[in-house]
Amino acid sequence: MDTLLKCLTLLVATPLVPAAIIGLVWGIIGGALPGISASVTMSLVLPFTYAMDPMVAIVLLASVYIGAEYGGSIPAILIRTPGTNSAAATVVDGYEMKRQGRAGEALGISLWSGVIGSLFGLVMLIGLTEPLSRIALAFKPMSYCALGLLGLSIIASLSGGSLLKGLAAALVGMMVSTIGIDPISGVDRFTFGQPDLLNGVKPIMVMVSLFAVSELLRQSGSKSVALGQQSVRITLPNLAMMRRLIKPQFIGCITGTVEGLMPGGGGSIAAFFSYNEAKRWSKHPEEFGKGSVEGVAAPEAANNTVASASLIPLLSFGIPGSNSAAVLLGGLLIHGLLPGPRLFEQNADVVLGLYTGSLVATIAQIAVGIVIMPVCMWLVNRPRPYLAAFIYLLVLSGIYTINGSLFDLGIVLFGGLVGFLMKAFGYPFLPAVLGVVLGPIVESNYRRSMLLSGGDLSIFLDDPIAVGFLITAVLFLSWSLWREWRDAVARRTEVKPA
């Protein structure tokens, strides 16, 4: 009862509801723009949260995440171009429904399934996060160091492509995190005589430059796909349709929860996996690929569940499961909030506000999704240079408002160029971002461990939690190496002449 009263007080006495609605609206708009992923949409507003109240800032970012996951399905259904990576599976049947004149029905199923997935993920978030965070009470410096290494190894091994590229990106991120004042000795490092680098390169700058600026550079030469003159109205499913969608939505919710709990999983994997499982368990598998309503419901429920479930490892241990969760981690760090048990003990109002704001955004998603549809269709038809100019304005003005520094703008633009080159050569962003975020945690706890042991590395073997994390990290890296070796052998076998 006390918790319910606190939630009602937050709704009335704080700007939580406006923050949730504004974040939801911006998230849907950003997700509806092809190529502007959920992480990019979040990173665009991240600098503006710098001066906000911590609870309001976190609610705003979480609501953007929720809105973007639904918004990505709008262009996926209407123009066969997913607005976010996680909406790629929705293209298969969503666009077929649009070709059959059922675009409004497809959008309604996507919206309803997204709400179901968001509610299920929120229940999992509330039920699992705090109990898991209590495990961290037993952590010592060695445990935190090993946990940081585990997070980096998991993300590097699951980021796709080459394990070596993932580890290299993580290493570069950790190198960037060493710029500034040494946390133990207080000596300045790698500042090259620049006073602006004494405070280091903030994670917010790295996230904005890699996720937003590099994407703008990549899209600068591409052409936009217009909807043309058409009017689409969202049609929510009736009761009979809702009953039919229960099974694929349940499959999507379970898949989204599992993938959200696994760092590196993400909404796109959950969406495709749930699509395959929904087809496997469907009474009408022949409809899949030809405009199946279940083929829209399952992936949309899955990727919206991931939006909440991926926050469970983030809030419990500080390990984000996706690019978007990494941006939210940046929002926490901006306001001095450290994930784990202390967050629940010292900043319980922030966590409660996050839960309440996410619930508000989820419930409001139906009304906002219907009202904002004409705006999304109008924006998709705008010339891409106009949209790019507007987004550049958001990026530069947001970064400048933090410290009023032109040097920060230079760092962001340079980081965007680096991100563009990383994308061109197949280097993943998430390990680099985590290197910047987890680098100080790994370094400071490693050096504390060495001070405690007098430089003896065997202190890590005396901590069973650290040993478990390190063994798990080795297993992940070994599994990734074996997978790459297996794929390389398979490719050689395929090209071998008969």
Q: Sign of torsion, CA 257 24 56 37?
A: positive
| Helix and strand totals (H; E) in the chain | 23, 2
Closest CA to 122 of 58, 57, 42, 66: 66
- The pLDDT score that the predictor gives to residue 278 is 85
Beta carbons within 10 angstroms of residue 373's beta carbon: 21
Q: What's the whole-model pTM score? A: 0.75
Could you list the pLDDT tens digit for every one of the 498 residues in the chain?
566 777 777 777 778 888 899 999 988 888 887 667 777 788 888 888 887 888 889 999 999 988 888 888 888 888 776 767 677 778 878 888 888 888 888 888 988 998 999 999 999 988 888 777 777 667 788 887 888 888 777 766 656 567 788 888 888 888 888 888 887 777 888 888 788 888 788 777 887 788 778 877 776 666 555 555 556 678 888 888 888 889 999 998 998 888 777 665 566 677 877 888 888 788 888 888 888 888 888 889 988 898 888 888 888 877 776 778 888 888 888 888 878 777 777 787 888 888 888 899 999 988 888 888 887 777 766 666 777 777 777 777 777 776 777 888 888 889 889 988 888 888 887 788 778 877 887 888 888 888 888 888 888 888 888 888 889 888 888 888 887 788 777 777 765 554
Please tell me the total number of residues recorded for the chain in this structure: 498
For 398-422, the pLDDT digits (tens) are: 777 767 778 888 888 898 899 888 8
- Supply the pLDDT for residue 217: 79
| Closest to 68 in 3D by CA, of 259, 289, 247, 303 | 303
Q: What's the burial of 326, exposed, middle or buried (CB within 10 Å: 0-12/13-18/19+)? A: buried
| CA-based nearest residue to 122, from 322, 260, 270 | 260
Q: Residue 63: its pLDDT value, please? A: 92
Alpha-carbon span 310 to 120, nearest angstrom:
13
DSSP string, 53-120: -HHHHHHHHHHHHHHHHHHTHHHHHHSS--SSGGGHHHHHHHHHHHHTT-HHHHHHHHHHHHHHHHHH
**Residue 189: φ, ψ to 5°:** -130, 135
At 458-496, the pLDDT tens digits run 888 888 888 888 898 888 888 888 877 887 777 777 655
Q: Which two tokens stand for residue 227?
A: 């909807």
Whether 83 and 73 have beta carbons less than 8 Å apart is answered as: yes
Rounded to 5 degrees, φ, ψ at 278 are -65, -40
Residue 395: which of 201, 211, 176 has the closest Cα? 211
Report angle CA 21, 237, 23 to the nearest 5 degrees.
Answer: 10
Structure-token match 């065997």, residue found: 458
